[in-house]
Structure 1
C-alpha cells in the first residue's frame, strides 16, 4: 500500500513538474531579445505565423507554440498587419498581440494647398506603401493627416483621401450661406483652390473669398497669378517671374486673360478655404495687394488699390526686392 501511494505521489510530482514546464513555456519569455516588429500577411493562419516566428528565431519551436496555443490560448483568429512585440515577450503575449493587439499605424500628411502632382510624388516616395497610382484629379483630395499600414496599397490610401473630400464637400455644401457666389460644389472647390493660393493667413481667408466672390458676381477677371502659373507647372513653383506672354495667354486657367472661374481647381484646398468660399466675408472689396507683413490690404475702388499697390512696390524697393 505504501509503495502504491509512493508511486502515485511520484506521478503527481512528475505531473506537476510537467504542467509547470508546459505553462512556463507559454507564459515565460520567448526568444525576443529586443523590441521587434512583425508583419502578419493577409490570409495568414496561426500555423503559418508560428512557422514564421520559428524561422525568424523569435520562438524555439512552432510545434510547441501551436500545442500550447491550442490548450492555453484563445481560439480567435490572428489579424493581418504590423505588430510591435516587446523584448522578452512570452508566447502568450505574442499570440494575444496577433489576435487582439493594435496594428501599427503610420501617418502621411497632405498640407492645405498641396497640388495633386505633389500628392502623387509624396505617395510614390513612401516606401512602406505598395502599388502604382496615377496623378489624382486636382481638387479631389482633402488635405489632412492620414494613417496607413505597412504594405498597404497607394491606391487604397488615395481613395481614403478622395472619399474624405467627397464627404466633407457634401456636408459643407449643405451649410453654405446665401452669399456664396458659387453655383455647385465643383465651383466651390475651384474658387477655394484660388483662395488657398492667394493667402497663407488663416484669418484672411473669408475676406479674400469675399473679394473674389464679388468679382465672380460682376463677371470681373479674378486676376490671380496662381491660375496663370498652373497650366505651366501643374501647381509646382514656377521658379521665375511670370512672362508677359503668359499673363496674356487666353488659356482656360488664366484669370488674368479670361473672366470668371478657371477651368478647374489649381490645387487641393483645405476645409477652411472651402468654408470661406461657402460663407465669404461681407465686404465691398474688389481688390487686394500684399501689405508686407504676410497679409493683404483690401480696397473697394481701383484708385484706392493703385495707391496700395504703389505703397507695396515702394516697400519692396526699400527692401531691395525690386
Structure 2
C-alpha cells in the first residue's frame, strides 16, 4: 500500500473518530445527569475556576463528567462567565443545561420578609425560623447582634442595649446558608440610609433633637395607624403635644412597655402602671423606638400635617377622627368608642 493511500486512510479514520467523539460529547451533554436526589441545592463559591466549579458540582451531587464538562465550557467560551451562588438542580437536567444555568447566574435566591410595625423581637423570631439561613445569632443578646454587625458603640441603640427600630422592614433576598447576621447588617444599613434621607428632608421646627428621636416618633406613628393618609395627621397630634408639654398618651407605647404582660387587652390599671414606656405617666418620647417603622411613617414623622389637632380616636374602620379641643375629642370618644 502506498504512503499516500495510508495517509488518506489514516485521515479518514481521524475524521470518523472526531465525528464519533463529537457525537458522543453531544449525546452526553444532552442526557440527564444522575443527580444524587431528585432535587438538590449546590453552592458555587466565588472566584472558582472551571475545574473548581466542576468539583463543587460533583461534591454537591451533580456528577458531571469532569473532563467533558471542562471541554464543553471552553468550546462554548463560557469559562469566564460561570457565576457563584446557590443553585437548585432537579431531576432531568442535562450537563448542557447545568452549564447554561451557571452562565446565566440563575441562582436559587431565598427571601426573608420583615413587616412594617413588627418589633425587633418579632424580626428575630422570623429570621430564627428561616430554614435557609445560617443562624449565627443564636444565643446572642440584642446588644451582641448590634456589635457583631458593626454598629458604632456610641450609637443610641447600642447605648440602650436595644435594637428596636434600627432595622428597615423589607424583603431581603439571599443565597442559602447566608449568615443571619448578614441580613441584620443589610437591614440596619438600609434603615440608616432611609432615616438619613428623611432627616435631611425634614420640616423646620420639629421637636426632635436627633434622628434617633425622630425614629422613635416614626415607630409610634407606625403602630398608631395603618392608614397612609392618617399618618401625617397622627404625626401632627404627637408633635403638637410635645411642643405643648403634654404627655403623648399613646397606647402602643404602653403596650410595648408591658412586654409579656400584655394579653391583648389594655385596662385602666395598665395606663396607671409606670414603665419607661408609659406615655400617660411620663412626658416626652419613650426611651427607644417601639417598632420597625417603614418609609411612610418616617416621612410623616419628619413632615407632619399642618394641623392644630391635639387629639385623635379610632373610628373602628382603620381610620381616625382628629380634634383640636378636648371637648370635641370627648364627643368623638362617646360616638366611636362608647357608641353614645
**TM-score normalised per structure 1:** 0.86
Partner of 2:206: 180
Partner of 2:31: 29
Answer with 131-140 or 71-80: which moved more. 71-80
SS of residue in 1 equivalent to 2:338: helix
Q: Tell me the alpha carbon deviations over residues 257-298 of structure 1, each in whole angstroms, 9 at most, x when there is no partner.
A: 011111111111111011001110111110111223221111
Question: Aligned-pair RMSD on alpha carbons?
Answer: 2.8
Answer with 200-209 or 52-61: which moved more. 52-61
Residue pairs, 1:56-95, within 5 angstroms: 58-59=62-63, 61-69=65-73, 74-76=78-80, 78-85=82-89, 88-95=92-99
Partner of 2:20: 17
SS of residue in 2 equivalent to 1:65: helix
Partner of 1:230: 256
Residue pairs, 1:132-147, within 5 angstroms: 132-133=136-137, 134-135=141-142, 137-147=163-173
SS of residue in 2 equivalent to 1:38: strand
Residue pairs, 1:158-177, within 5 angstroms: 158-177=184-203
Partner of 1:320: none
SS of residue in 1 equivalent to 2:178: coil
In structure 2, do the counterparts of structure 1 residues 313 and 243 end up closer, same or farther at CA, with 3 Å as the change threshold?
A: closer
1:303 is aligned, of 323, 327, 336, to 327
Shift of 1:37: 4.6
- The 8 Å contact of residues 50 and 66 in structure 1, kept in 2 or not, is answered as yes
Partner of 1:288: 312
- The 8 Å contact of residues 42 and 57 in structure 2, kept in 1 or not, is answered as no
Partner of 1:201: 227
1:314 partnered with 2:338: yes
Answer with 177-186 or 63-72: which moved more. 63-72
- The 8 Å contact of residues 40 and 49 in structure 1, kept in 2 or not, is answered as no
Distance 2:131 2:212 in 1: 33
Partner of 1:38: 41
What residue ranges of structure 2 are gaps of 5+ in the alignment?
A: 146-162
In structure 2, do the counterparts of structure 1 residues 79 and 307 end up closer, same or farther at CA, with 3 Å as the change threshold?
A: same
- The 8 Å contact of residues 41 and 60 in structure 2, kept in 1 or not, is answered as no
SS of residue in 2 equivalent to 1:76: coil
Distance 1:237 1:98 in 2: 52
Distance 1:247 1:314 in 2: 18
Partner of 2:176: 150
SS of residue in 1 equivalent to 2:183: helix
SS of residue in 1 equivalent to 2:31: coil
Q: Tell me the alpha carbon deviations over residues 82-137 of structure 1, each in whole angstroms, 9 at most, x when there is no partner.
A: 22446644423323432442322222221111100000000000011002324460
Partner of 2:106: 102
Shift of 1:205: 0.3
Distance 2:243 2:60 in 1: 67
Distance 1:57 1:314 in 2: 66
Answer with 249-258 or 49-58: which moved more. 49-58
Distance 2:13 2:45 in 1: 48
**TM-score normalised per structure 2:** 0.82
Distance 2:61 2:308 in 1: 72
In structure 2, do the counterparts of structure 1 residues 17 and 103 end up closer, same or farther at CA, with 3 Å as the change threshold?
A: same
